[in-house]
Amino acid sequence: MFFSTKALALIVTSLAIASQASPVPEEAAEAQIGPTHTGDATFYTPGLGACGRNNNANELVAAVAVPVFDNFPGHTANPNKNPICGKKAKVSFGGKSVTVTIVDRCPGCGAGGIDLSPAAFQKLAPLSKGRLPGTKWTVQ
């Protein structure tokens, strides 16, 4: 009887511990901030951007359409302090995607447009394409 009581107690304790264990969560997707934008993706040679940082053509960076940059929640009169600066954006075209860092605003872009560094653009298409209509992108 003593053995049966100990065995039963061990089984009950094991089941109680096992029932409290939660499953391992799948890797969480990056949270999207705001809407999905659709427009033309183009490329440019980065330099000193509106965010106050120097960048180059080999970095995965982007300039976003002025309405997106200037109306991002928390923006101020000083573009260097815009909270969109340094945020990641996932850019998708033709079944390919690239994640870029937002470092500038793009006065020449349409409402949903994004201007990519050459390195970022080439993750989606050859530079000879020049313009990628219907590109989708979201701020992460």
- What does the pLDDT look like over 23-62, one tens digit per residue? 434 344 557 778 999 999 999 999 999 999 999 999 999 9
Measure Cα distances from 2 to 10, 14, 60, 113, 119 in Å: 12, 18, 68, 76, 72
- Name the stretches of the chain with pLDDT < 50: 1, 3, 7-28
Coil/strand/helix, residue 79: helix
The structure's pTM equals: 0.77
All structural domains of the chain = 33-139 (2.40.40.10)
